[in-house]
Amino acid sequence: MTGSTPLRFCGGLFFRDAITPPPGVPTNGATVSFALVATDWRGNATTTPTQSFAVCGLQSYALGLGGTNTGALAATGTTSAGGTATFAWSALPTSSGGLLALALGRASVPFPEGIVVVDPGSLVTLVPVATDAAGAGALPIPIPASPPLVGLRVAFQGLFGGPLVLTNGVDLVVCP
């Protein structure tokens, strides 16, 4: 996708603003490129060379689906090789068991029980997890110190029982 962001004049010949991707746009694992265009009052314009950067880390997605997808999954930490990302789930049935599904991509697959937002066709594993008396829990996941993993995407979703509640998705892209 493409867009434009005007930079604000900050005084002293200084211009600044932030490119913010629209909500819901998947950017994790993407390459962002931009060029600046300055135009004067006469319409004379100049464009900078394009800059690009890679995006990696942790990004929540498939938020606010409703139905049985009311659980919350979030993650913090570092996704570079050797780092640790901690996944935390909440707003779930108390003291119940569940599974953290890991797949190699995002998806949106409706089932009668809810919407699966990790790609069932590239499922890597299902990690048994549980909630505490507050309906929450957390799991630190170390990122192997393996350079070939850089750029790998893993999508996560929690599925908890009694009655079944699904979470949103979080995807992880391993950083350099």
Partner 1 sequence: MKHSSLVAALAAAPLLAQASFNQQVGLVTGPTVMSEGVVLCDVDGDGDQDVVFANGYVLNSAGSAIQPTLLINKVNQGLGLVDETASRLPALAIKGTLVVAFDIEGDGDKDLLFSCNGPSQQRLYVNDGAGVFSDQSVARLGALNLACAGCAYGDVDQDGDLDVFLNDELTNGQLKLFRNNGSGVFSNVTATHVAAAPKTNQQDVVLCDLDNDWDLDVVNIGKSAGQQIYWNDGTGRFLTVTTALLPAGTGLTYEAEAADLDHDGDLDLAMLSVSSLTDTVIRNNLVPSGTLSFTSLTTALTGGNGDDDNEWLFVDFDNDGFLDLVDGSLQSSGEKLYRNNGAFSFARQATGFTAVVDSTLDAAVGDLNNDGVFDIVTAQGESGSFLNRAYYGSGPQDTQPPRFVRVEQLPAVSTRPDGPWVVRAVVQDSAVDDGETSVRTVVANWSIAHPGAS
Q: Does 168 bind partner 1 (CB under 8 A)?
A: no
37 contacts partner 1 (rule: CB under 8 A): yes
d(CA 98, CA 71): 12
Please answer whether residues 111 and 56 qualify as being in contact, where contact means their C-beta atoms are separated by less than 8 angstroms: no
Q: Least distance in Å: CB of 97 to partner 1?
A: 30
By CB under 8 A, tell whether 92 contacts partner 1: no
Part in contact with partner 1 (CB under 8 A); list of ranges 26-34, 84-92, 109-117, 137-145: 26-34
Task: Using CB under 8 A, pick the residue from 69, 79, 96, 157 that binds partner 1.
Answer: 79
**Which are the contacts of 68, defined by CB distance < 8 A and separation ≥ 6?**
113, 114, 163, 164, 165, 166
Which one, 46 or 133, has the nearer CB to partner 1? 46
> Which residue lies nearer to partner 1 by CB, 51 or 95?
51
Query: Of 4, 112, 128, 148, which lies in the binding site for partner 1, with binding defined by CB under 8 A?
Result: 4
Q: Does 163 bind partner 1 (CB under 8 A)?
A: no
Query: What's the token pair of residue 32?
Result: 């962002």
Strands 114-118 and 84-90: unpaired
- Distance linking the first and last C-alpha atoms of the chain: 24
Measure Cα distances from 155 to 9, 13, 39, 73, 152 in Å.
40, 44, 42, 11, 10
- Residue 48 vs 125, nearer CB to partner 1: 48
- C-beta of 86: minimal distance to partner 1 in Å? 15
Torsion over CA: 110, 112, 117, 122 (sign): negative
Q: Does 148 bind partner 1 (CB under 8 A)?
A: no
- Rounded CA-CA distance 97/129 in Å is 6
Query: Does residue number 46 form part of the binding site for partner 1 (CB under 8 A)?
Result: yes
Residues making contact with partner 1 (CB under 8 A) = 1-21, 25-42, 44-46, 48, 51, 53-59, 78-80, 151, 173, 175-176
